[in-house]
Amino acid sequence: MTSIAALNAADRATFVAAIGFAFEDSPWIAEAAWERRPFDSVDGLHAALGDVVAGAPEERQIALIAAHPDLAGRVARTGRLTPASRDEQASAGLDRLAPEQIARFDEANTAYRVRFGFPFVIAVRGRDQAAILAALERRSRNERDVEIALALAEIAQIARLRLEGAVSA
- Looking at the Cβ atoms of 15 and 21, the one nearer to ligand GUN is 21
Neighbouring CB atoms inside 10 A of 124's CB total 24
Q: Which is nearer to ligand GUN, 4 or 127 (CB)?
A: 127
CB of 56 to ligand GUN, least distance (A): 19
The contact set with ligand GUN (CB under 6 A) reads 24, 68-71, 85, 88, 119-124, 158
The total of other beta-carbon atoms located within 10 Å of residue 79's CB is 8
Closest contact distance (angstroms) between CB of 157 and ligand GUN is 9
Would you tell me how many other CB atoms lie within 10 Å of the CB of residue 89? Answer: 23
Which residues are 167's β-sheet partners? 2
**Is 46 an annotated catalytic residue?**
no
Residue of 46, 68, 139, 162 with catalytic role = 68
Query: How far is CA 101 from its chain centroid?
Result: 22
Q: Which residues are catalytic?
A: 68
